[in-house]
């Protein structure tokens, strides 16, 4: 081996290694998300990325007052931060990688933002934890992993499925292509896409939120990671005592190359090109750019110096105050007394609002699209918590995937038999619109579909005179209250146009 | 029209001619299916015992078939034994699978896998060994490809295929499970339909050389029973549209799909709370298989297992009235094996 060549190979390869790890982590993250659908990867593997997230694990523990053994994985990420600072952000975070892909203005065109803005992310995670202490988890929607899971699960992946289906349909018009389309379809379904794709509400909203975060890159590279990301803030604080950190040696000629390439803008020309480990993602771009090999990453056991934007007592108090006020406002919201939402099996009894980290894995796992992220129907506090929308999908009697995949047991991990007995709500028939009740025409679809072995919908025979004066014998459905589990398949399949003539409502409590 | 009817037509013509020419040349005259798909024929022809059908035969060529019909019973019923054995005995009594499946055929078997909720013991889905046996028999008769499919209404196809046990048995027999792709449901004319004139039907079911219909006999509150004709609802996209005037529309659909063979699985029957089931108290084990090329006759006979008369089922009445088959069980040659 030619030793003289080593340094030249070594430097770019470290950077390439980081990029390879980033792409690999993003690919693994998305693959696990795709496989999180029922019948894919084992649930404890599918929810592994979420369980690595210390911000959601910590806020869940505070809000639910429970320590879950499964959440101990998040300690790994904290340990990583203690060793390598915010390497999570630079090497592993799927949102960080997406932000690296999105173009940013060249260094010369970049505006300088006040360093104090960096405090915003600290304020955010402190507020999240303070609110969690008060039993509220609404702001966890800003966690980067939940953002990406929600956006891919309920917007981008279904949209991709639509594109693929449209392409398949177009190609299938040519008989010559039939074998190819069939082979492709067998490959894709059900492994990658569902055979019958669920629909989601407001997918463009989720896509827009992600697009906005990516668009902030137009102001500065990784704008989100520098100023806003609450997980980045939490990891940044830990990184203050991180072991491996960037150091500039005496070989530095103050050329400024490192400051120009730093994606988080933490290399400070006014401080001898030093950086803050709470902001450095160990991306190694500066090391690559340095013409004099003056940048090292040695282990330093002493804490990093305090920065002006570090969270202080005042930040913590402000966060606590804002959290308390916010939670009080939520408590004065009408939804705090009686929520009209139908929750996934077992979740209502489990006080889902104080446990759910809004990651949307259950939305992704649900094979029928029954579980949707809540919009405002349960108030802002419940935003993006899972809710059942029977007109879009039903709770499949053969499925208990949501409780299995939930990383924090907000939806309890019920066995299939237990889940079949879990009551989500109750169906009510609108006799003014139900076909045999209102129109004296036969229809038994709800009874036919009811999966309860004894049938929670029974048919009563009635002989009536219809609008045309004809005597007809009809079967009319009735709901047997104590048998109905509220799965919603009756509402989903009801052939009446618009709102169904049989609808499920959440049980009180 | 799909090529199958053309092929059936050709076979009956040839058989009839063969009988006229003389017995010794009969088997030699049975044509092999043509390697290229036959062009669509303008009018559909009844496939199964046409000579005695209530409506006059549309083609004079069919007048030669009574002699053929003498060979085979209209319907075979096998009772007592293991599912695979029952299927083999029943189909054998009809003349063997070679009567329906020819070398090189593309075969689709349509069992009832309506929900993903229960295993086969609950009698909501067709017995997996019955389906497996049919797959094997098709290959033994020389089929090129045998696919098994349904369009479940409760749960995903992959889950329903797995939980019913059918996926395992079909794969063991060398067949393929196909999840019905949405882009293959195609708006189709139903020329003989009296009420249902157009419908989105799974294209492959129309294009296959042979369709074998394998319902499980079970309770249904609107149709009373779901049997062969009701089972064909799994081949269309918009099922709710069928519910208005269900009996006639099922017969209309059957007139377009025309399965070559209907095998009613009554190994276990579901007597109440169908079609989903879930209660073993509603299940009766009869260890019976009914097989017939006549879907109306198969359904008519299956009705008697529940203590009903054929005419109690709207779709049996409609099917018989349209000349799709016969419901006059007392006049049919029934082989009990």
- Cβ A489 vs Cβ A394: under 8 Å: yes
- Residue B176 in tokens: 């393929």
Q: How confident is the model over A284-303, as a mean pLDDT?
A: 93
Who has greater pLDDT, B33 or A299?
Answer: A299
pLDDT score at A507: 83
pLDDT of B3 > 70? The answer is no
d(CA B313, CA B251): 11
What's the pLDDT at B35? Answer: 42
Residue B23, pLDDT above cutoff 70: no
Checking if the pLDDT of A9 tops 70, the result is no
CA-based nearest residue to A441, from B312, B319, B222 = B222
Q: Across residues B57-74, what is the average pLDDT?
A: 53
Categorise residue B155: left if φ over 0, alpha if ψ from -120 to 50, beta otherwise.
left
The reported pLDDT for the residue numbered B52 is 41
pLDDT at position B8: 64
With 0-12 / 13-18 / 19 or more C-beta atoms within 10 angstroms meaning exposed / middle / buried, residue B69 is middle
pLDDT at B25: 39
Tokens representing B146 are 């045998």
Say yes or no: B200 contacts chain A, CB-CB below 8 A: no
Beta bridge partners of B186: B201
- Contact: B159, A399; criterion CB under 8 Å: yes
- Find the closest chain A residue to B272 by CA distance: A454
**Which among A185, A396, A453 is the nearest to B154, CB-wise?**
A396
pLDDT of B16: 52
Arithmetic mean of pLDDT over chain B: 86
Residue A275 has pLDDT above 50, yes or no: yes
pLDDT of A234 reads 98
Task: Answer whether B119 touches A (CB < 8 Å).
Answer: no
User: Is the pLDDT reported for residue B49 higher than 60?
Assistant: no
Q: What is the pLDDT of residue B47?
A: 44
pLDDT for residue A243 is more than 90: yes
Confidence at residue B238, expressed as pLDDT on a 0 to 100 scale: 87
CB contact under 8 A, B155 and A397: yes
Q: Which residue has the tokens 């203590």?
A: B307
Residues 6+ apart with CB under 8 A from A158: A197, A198, A199, A200, A203
Q: How far is A50 from chain B (nearest CA, A)?
A: 26
**What is chain B's length?**
337
Q: In the predicted model, what is the mean pLDDT of residues A179-184?
A: 93
pLDDT tier, A53 (very low <50, low <70, confident <90, very high otherwise): very high
Mean pLDDT value across residues B117-146:
98
CB contact under 8 A, A398 and B115: yes
Q: Do B244 and A475 touch (CB under 8 A)?
A: no
pLDDT of residue A418: 97
The predicted structure's pLDDT at residue B240? 80
Among B160, B180, B220, the residue with its CB nearest the CB of A448 is: B220
DSSP classification of residue A404? H
User: What would the pLDDT profile of A298-312 be if each residue is shown by its tens digit?
Assistant: 998 889 999 999 999
**Three-state DSSP state, A296:** strand
Task: Give the nearest partner residue to A398 out of B159, B181, B244, using CB atoms.
Answer: B159
Report helix, strand or coil for A410: coil
Q: Are the Cβ atoms of B115 and A39 closer than 8 angstroms? A: no
The tokens for A40 are 């894919």
> How much of chain B exceeds pLDDT 70, in percent?
79
* Mean pLDDT, residues B179-189: 92
pLDDT digits (tens, 9 = 90+) for B69-90: 457 999 999 999 999 999 999 9
Give helix A74-84 / helix A54-64 axis angle, nearest 10°: 130
Cα dist from A406 to A43, A340, A416, whole Å? 8, 22, 15
B277 and A CB contact within 8 Å: yes
Contact B155 A398 (CB under 8 A): yes
Instruction: Tell me what the mean pLDDT of segment A195-201 comes to.
Output: 93
Mean pLDDT of the A306-335 span? 94
Segment B196-253, tens digit of pLDDT: 999 999 999 999 999 999 999 999 999 999 999 999 999 999 888 888 889 999 999 9
Name the residue among B159, B183, B244 with its Cβ closest to that of A172: B183
CATH class of B74-336: alpha beta
Residue B156 forms contact with A (CB below 8 Å): yes
Q: Where in chain A is the domain with CATH 3.30.70.20?
A: 425-509
What is the total residue count of chain A?
Answer: 509
Which chain A residue's Cα is nearest to B163?
A: A398
Q: Which position has the token pair 């879930």?
A: B278
Contact predicate A345/A415, CB 8 Å: no
Please, what is the average pLDDT of chain A?
93
Tokens 């094996």 correspond to what residue?
B337
DSSP bridge partners of A477 = A459
Calculate mean pLDDT across residues B271-294: 96
- Per-residue pLDDT at A313 exceeds 60: yes
A385-428: pLDDT as tens digits: 999 999 999 999 999 999 999 999 999 999 999 999 999 999 99
In this prediction, residue B11 carries a pLDDT of 64
Residue B183 clears pLDDT 70, i.e. is over it = yes
Q: Do B275 and A489 touch (CB under 8 A)?
A: no
Grade residue B255 by pLDDT with cuts at 50, 70 and 90.
Answer: very high
What pLDDT was estimated at residue B5?
Answer: 63
Domain A425-509, CATH: 3.30.70.20
pLDDT of B28 over the 70 cut: no
Q: For residue A12, is pLDDT > 70?
A: no
* B183: nearest CB among A38, A165, A495: A165
Interhelix angle A6-34/A94-101, rounded to 10 degrees, is: 120
Distance, CA of B33 to CA of B98 (rounded, Å): 12
């Amino acid at each position: 081996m030619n030793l003289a060549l080593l340094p030249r190979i070594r430097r770019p390869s470290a950077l390439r290694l980081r990029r390879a790890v980033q792409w690999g982590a993003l690919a693994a993250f998305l693959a696990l998300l795709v496989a999180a659908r029922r019948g894919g990867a084992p649930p404890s593997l599918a929810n592994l990325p979420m369980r690595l997230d210390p911000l959601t694990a910590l806020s869940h523990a505070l809000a639910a007052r429970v320590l879950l053994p499964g959440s101990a994985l998040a300690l790994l990420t904290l340990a990583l931060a203690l060793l390598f600072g915010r390497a999570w952000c630079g090497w592993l975070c799927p949102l960080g990688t997406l932000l690296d892909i999105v173009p940013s203005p060249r260094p010369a065109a970049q505006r300088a933002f006040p360093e104090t803005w960096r405090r915003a992310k600290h304020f955010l995670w402190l507020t999240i934890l303070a609110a969690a202490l008060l039993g509220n988890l609404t702001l966890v929607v800003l966690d980067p992993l939940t953002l990406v899971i929600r956006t891919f699960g309920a917007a981008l992946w279904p949209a991709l499925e639509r594109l693929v289906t449209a392409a398949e349909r177009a190609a299938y018009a040519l008989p010559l292509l039939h074998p190819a389309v069939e082979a492709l379809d067998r490959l894709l379904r059900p492994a990658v896409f569902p055979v019958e794709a669920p629909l989601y509400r407001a997918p463009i909203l989720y896509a827009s939120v992600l697009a906005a975060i990516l668009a902030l890159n137009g102001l500065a590279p990784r704008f989100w990671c520098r100023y806003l990301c609450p997980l980045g803030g939490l990891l940044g604080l830990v990184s203050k005592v991180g072991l491996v950190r960037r150091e500039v040696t005496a070989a530095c000629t103050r050329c400024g190359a490192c400051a120009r390439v730093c994606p988080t803008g933490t290399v400070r020309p006014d401080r001898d090109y030093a950086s803050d480990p709470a902001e450095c993602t160990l991306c190694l771009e500066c090391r690559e750019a340095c013409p004099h090999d003056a940048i090292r990453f040695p282990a330093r056991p002493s804490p990093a110096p305090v920065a002006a934007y570090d969270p202080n007592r005042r930040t913590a108090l402000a966060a606590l105050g804002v959290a308390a006020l916010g939670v009080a406002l939520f408590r004065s919201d009408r939804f705090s007394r009686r929520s009209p939402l139908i929750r996934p099996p077992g979740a209502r009894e489990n006080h889902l609002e104080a446990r759910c980290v809004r990651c949307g894995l259950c939305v992704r796992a649900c094979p029928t699209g029954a579980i949707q992220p809540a919009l405002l129907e349960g108030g802002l506090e419940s935003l993006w918590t899972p809710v059942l929308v029977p007109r879009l999908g039903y709770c499949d009697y053969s499925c208990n995937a949501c409780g299995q995949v939930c990383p924090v047991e907000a939806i309890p991990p019920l066995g299939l038999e237990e889940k079949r007995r879990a009551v989500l709500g109750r169906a009510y028939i609108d006799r003014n619109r139900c076909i045999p009740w209102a129109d004296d025409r036969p229809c038994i679809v709800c009874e036919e579909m009811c999966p309860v072995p004894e049938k929670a919908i029974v048919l009563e025979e009635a002989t009536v005179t219809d609008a045309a004066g004809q005597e007809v014998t009809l079967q009319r459905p009735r709901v047997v209250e104590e048998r109905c589990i509220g799965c919603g398949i009756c509402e989903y399949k009801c052939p009446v146009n618009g709102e169904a003539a049989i609808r499920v409502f959440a049980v009180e409590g | 029209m799909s090529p199958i009817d053309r092929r059936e037509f050709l076979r009956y013509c040839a058989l009839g001619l063969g009988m006229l020419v003389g017995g010794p040349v009969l088997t030699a005259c049975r044509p092999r299916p043509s390697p290229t798909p036959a062009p669509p024929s303008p009018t559909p022809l009844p496939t199964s015992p046409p000579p005695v059908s209530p409506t006059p035969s549309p083609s004079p060529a069919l007048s030669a078939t009574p002699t053929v019909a003498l060979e085979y019973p209209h319907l075979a019923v096998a009772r007592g034994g293991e599912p695979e054995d029952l299927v083999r005995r029943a189909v054998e009594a009809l003349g063997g699978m070679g009567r329906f499946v020819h070398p090189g055929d593309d075969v689709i078997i349509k069992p009832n896998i309506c929900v993903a909720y229960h295993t086969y013991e609950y009698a909501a889905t067709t017995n997996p060994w019955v389906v497996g046996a049919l797959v094997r028999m098709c290959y033994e008769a020389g089929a090129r490809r045998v696919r098994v499919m349904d369009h479940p209404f409760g749960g995903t196809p992959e889950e329903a295929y797995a939980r019913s046990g059918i996926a395992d048995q079909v794969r063991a027999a060398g067949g393929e499970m196909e999840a019905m792709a949405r882009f293959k449901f195609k708006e189709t004319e139903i020329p003989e339909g009296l009420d249902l004139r157009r419908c989105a039907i799974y294209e492959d079911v129309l294009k296959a050389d042979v369709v074998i219909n394998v319902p499980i006999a079970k309770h249904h509150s609107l149709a009373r029973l779901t049997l062969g004709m009701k089972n064909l609802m799994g081949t269309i996209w918009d099922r709710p549209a069928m519910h208005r005037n269900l009996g006639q529309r099922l017969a209309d659909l059957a007139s377009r799909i025309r399965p070559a063979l209907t095998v009613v699985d009554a190994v276990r029957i579901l007597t109440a709370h169908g079609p989903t089931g879930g209660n073993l108290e509603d299940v009766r084990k009869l260890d019976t298989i009914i097989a017939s090329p006549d879907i109306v006759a198969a359904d008519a006979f299956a009705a008697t297992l529940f203590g009903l008369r054929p005419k109690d089922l709207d779709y049996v009445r409609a099917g018989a009235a349209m000349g799709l088959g016969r419901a006059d069980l007392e006049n049919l040659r029934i082989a009990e094996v």
